[in-house]
Amino acid sequence: MVKGLVEIAKERWLMGSVGARQDTVALVQLQDTYGWGAYGRGTDSAGIDSTGARPGPGRIRCPNWLEGLRIGSPVSLALSLCVLMALCWSLVGCGGRHVEPEAMVGYATSAEFPMPDALRDNVDFWRKVYTEWGRDKVVIHDDRHLAILYQVASLQGPIEAVYTPAQKDYVDVLKDRWRARLRALESRVAVGARLSAAERQLKAQVEGGGGPGALFGAAERVRGQRGVRERYRDGLARSGRWEPPFRAVFRRHALPEDLALLPHVESSFQANARSSAGASGMWQFIRSTGKSYMTVNSSIDERLDPIVAADGAARYLKGAYAKLKSWPLALTSYNHGVGGMLRAKERYGTDMGRIVRDYDGRYFGFASRNFYAQFLAARHVARNAQRYFPEGVSYQPPLRDQPVRLRYAVYVDDLASRYRVPRSSLVARNLAWLQPVRRGERPVPAGTTVWLPREASSLARGLPRPKLSRPSLLEGAQP
């Protein structure tokens, strides 16, 4: 048994699989004793230098102390016990996080949001991104077959919203190393060479997750995904304020209320979120699209107003569904565009599983292929937050502000004075106001939706009570 456990540890170390990460947790406890510092120039489970340096050509090797370990020695006995404990611990999870066996996860489906069997691996992957892997973890995986997880690596140094330069280099090294391993394995398989045990295991892993033939081209599909557990939990907390009014917006448009959960995918409910593509706000409208549904100019950018933008998202999705006749396709169009999804529908109908697997539209990349799966995973986690975040989530209280729509332009100081609301309170509530308006250089334009505290006085000294020129964005809200 001792010999078997030590050999398993060696073999799985060489493989660098997710299992190796779990099996070798206990080995960390012995690193300092044998001069292999976890934060020095040791290697992780893929044989990559933790500083980002390449360890040289040749096969990936395990640490010298493990290679030379004598079977039957007291050290090997202790090591075996540690490995056995790590294996057992990996079955029940660690660190207080809920790690649920995939076969036991039950995803709630509906007529509007079905989950095809072909998408289960994708939904499982994003559920783990949201609930199991924190920002200090990066997953090296296949970007088409998300069941193929090569490695879960830990990032060293400060854990911020974006990688440090050293962390980025480290992730690039990990991906390059896996590409090299996969290319080498593909070449050996192509010529019928005899494979080592480690090579056979890697081949089985790729084909088990991607099917026969998945090995060919796998090197070009290597991708890294950072965990976002903390970000998703913070998004849940923020959703307490915004989800109720969002549901009211979608209910008013006679649309599925669970569309209110889309910001979990787009922005983690961050009102000031901005993307490299120029999308802004909680609902991530780009400027050109935003202008079709709301006011976007140098004074007001209603993409930053969560409720107004939610109304714009509802109108967009309503129009997309009218053309596509499928909620999975309509949701995916939020990322890929209605035109792109109409082309996909012409080829594969409304079979979302086939579209994700086979559609090769020019701009139908990783983000578009996974958008619907991300939504299903986010929806599942939001509905089961207590299960996945047993430490608890501090939900923000629901929004209580009331909207009014101005009949004519008014400066912020006049609004503050006449509605008897502190200027700072008005500015904080009205996220769509840009700096010229906030600083009082320009008035709030006529037609703008203004948010006021519910208890704000409706008596305005010398200013008529503003009237809504369209139905309230919130059911039951009064001007």
Q: Which of 107-111, 142-146, 218-222 shows the lowest mean pLDDT across its residues? A: 107-111
Question: Alpha-carbon distance 151 to 137, whole Å?
Answer: 10
Give pairs for 335-342: CB < 8 Å, separation 24+: 335/367, 335/368, 335/371, 336/361, 336/363, 336/364, 336/368, 336/371, 340/364, 340/368
When pLDDT is averaged across residues 10-15 and rounded to a whole number, the result is 43
- pTM higher than the cut 0.85: no
Percent of the chain past pLDDT 70, that is, above it, reads 73
Q: Are 331 and 371 in contact, with CB atoms under 8 Å apart? A: yes
Q: For residue 352, what pLDDT is reported?
A: 97
Give the pLDDT band (50/70/90) at residue 79.
Answer: low
pLDDT over 50 (residue 215):
yes
Higher-pLDDT residue of 80 and 62 is 80
Summarised one tens digit per residue, pLDDT across range 381-410 is 999 999 999 999 999 999 999 999 999 999
Return the minimum-mean-pLDDT range out of 156-160, 233-237, 315-319, 453-457. Answer: 453-457
Is residue 315's pLDDT more than 70?
yes
Determine the pLDDT at residue 132.
97
The whole-number average pLDDT for the span 415-435 is: 94
Please provide the average confidence, as pLDDT, over all residues in the chain.
Answer: 82
242-256 pLDDT, tens digit per residue, is: 999 999 999 999 999
pLDDT at 108: 79
Kindly indicate the confidence band of residue 100, based on its pLDDT and cuts at 50, 70 and 90. Answer: low
Q: Which residues pair with 344 in a beta bridge?
A: none
Over residues 343-386, the pLDDT tens digits come to 999 999 999 999 999 999 989 999 999 999 999 999 999 999 99
Number of Cβ within 10 Å of residue 341's Cβ equals 28
* Confidence at 83, pLDDT banded by 50, 70, 90: very low
Between residues 264 and 96, the one the model is more confident about: 264
pLDDT at 467 over 80: no
CB of 137 closer than 8 Å to CB of 226: yes
CATH architecture of the domain formed by 230-388? Orthogonal Bundle (1.10)
Position with higher pLDDT, 21 vs 315: 315
Mean pLDDT, rounded, for 452-474: 53
CATH 1.10.530.10 range(s) for the chain read 230-388
Beta-bridge mates of residue 312: none
What pLDDT, on the 0 to 100 scale, is given for residue 35? 30
77-to-37, 52, 343 alpha-carbon distances in Å: 21, 33, 62
pLDDT band for position 93 (cuts 50, 70, 90): very low
Res 97: pLDDT = 57
The full length of the chain comes to 479
Whether the per-residue pLDDT at 64 is higher than 80: the answer is no
d(Cα 265, Cα 438) in Å, to the nearest integer?
A: 30
Residue 302 contacts residue 294 (beta carbons within 8 Å) = yes
pLDDT at 81: 57
Q: Give residue 472's pLDDT.
A: 43
Minimum mean pLDDT among 62-71, 250-259, 425-434, 448-457: which range?
62-71
Give the mean pLDDT of 160-189: 97
pLDDT at 126: 98
